[in-house]
């Protein structure tokens, strides 16, 4: 449930309402989705990954103090477009140079996240905002499912983050080429990044 509104002194913001879990026991045991998204945004920011500002989470509670639902608000990134929208345009008017730049930035972002032990878990084009001014910048949003990785979950998390990008026909060959380069660099003991899994 996402909509936009104007707030005095802030400007245009995305407002996202996270409804409570349908399973009440599960909802009580698990942190509210709005707070999870806020936490994930803070982790990505700490890793140097662009985040929309301001990042704010608010809760609506019942009389007993139990959480009814959360609201997640973040400022709109100026002149940004969803990667899904941009890819649809590029299917109609291909631009291999731009696709290569997008793939480079996506692989770089995932490398930073995974090296920092963080998995976005929902790294879909619609959850990525693209800004093109002085340089191409990609801002991940909707990170409420983000999680810390450990030795047991690392491989599954990395595969999951790449999986959504590999489903995009326009992006797939560019992503695969960069993944192959990373794997080759690991094989020669000189690489870094996240495609090792």
- Model pTM? 0.75
Identify the DSSP state of 153: T
Using CA atoms, how far residue 144 sits from 16, 35, 76, 149, in Å, is: 11, 8, 18, 15
| Tens digit of each residue's pLDDT (9 = 90 or more) over 114-142 | 999 999 999 999 889 898 878 899 999 88
The token duo for 47 is 């890793």
Count of positions (residues) in the chain:
197
pLDDT of 69 > 70? The answer is no
In tens, the pLDDT along 139-169 reads: 998 888 899 999 999 999 999 999 999 999 9
Using alpha carbons, select from 11, 22, 23, 18 the residue that is nearest to residue 75. 11
Beta strands in the chain (DSSP E): 2-7, 11-19, 55-61, 67-75, 80-82, 118-119, 128-132, 136-140, 147-148
What is the dihedral sign for C-alpha 8, 141, 45, 137? negative
Q: What is the pLDDT of residues 78-121, one digit of tens each?
A: 678 889 999 999 989 989 999 999 999 999 999 999 999 999 99
At residue 93, the 3 state secondary structure works out as: coil
Q: Report residue 176's pLDDT band, with 50, 70 and 90 as the boundaries.
A: very high
The pLDDT value given to residue 181:
79
């Amino acid at each position: 449930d996402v909509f936009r509104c104007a707030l005095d002194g802030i400007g245009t913001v995305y407002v996202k309402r996270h409804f409570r879990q349908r399973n009440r026991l599960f909802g009580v045991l698990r942190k509210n989705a709005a707070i999870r998204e806020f936490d994930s945004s803070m982790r990505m920011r700490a890793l140097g990954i662009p985040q929309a500002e301001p990042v704010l989470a608010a809760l609506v509670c019942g009389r007993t103090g139990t959480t009814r639902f959360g609201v997640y608000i973040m400022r709109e990134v100026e002149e940004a477009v969803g990667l899904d929208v941009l890819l649809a345009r590029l299917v109609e008017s291909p631009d291999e140079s731009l696709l290569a730049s997008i793939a480079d930035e996506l692989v770089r972002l995932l490398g930073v996240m995974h090296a920092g032990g963080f998995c976005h878990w929902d790294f879909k084009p619609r959850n990525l905002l693209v800004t093109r001014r002085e340089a191409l910048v990609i801002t991940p949003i909707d990170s409420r499912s983000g999680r810390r990785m450990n030795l047991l979950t690392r491989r599954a998390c990395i595969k999951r983050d790449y999986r959504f990008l590999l489903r995009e026909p326009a992006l797939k060959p560019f992503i695969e080429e960069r993944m192959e380069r990373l794997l080759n660099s690991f094989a020669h003991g000189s690489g870094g990044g996240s495609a090792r899994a």
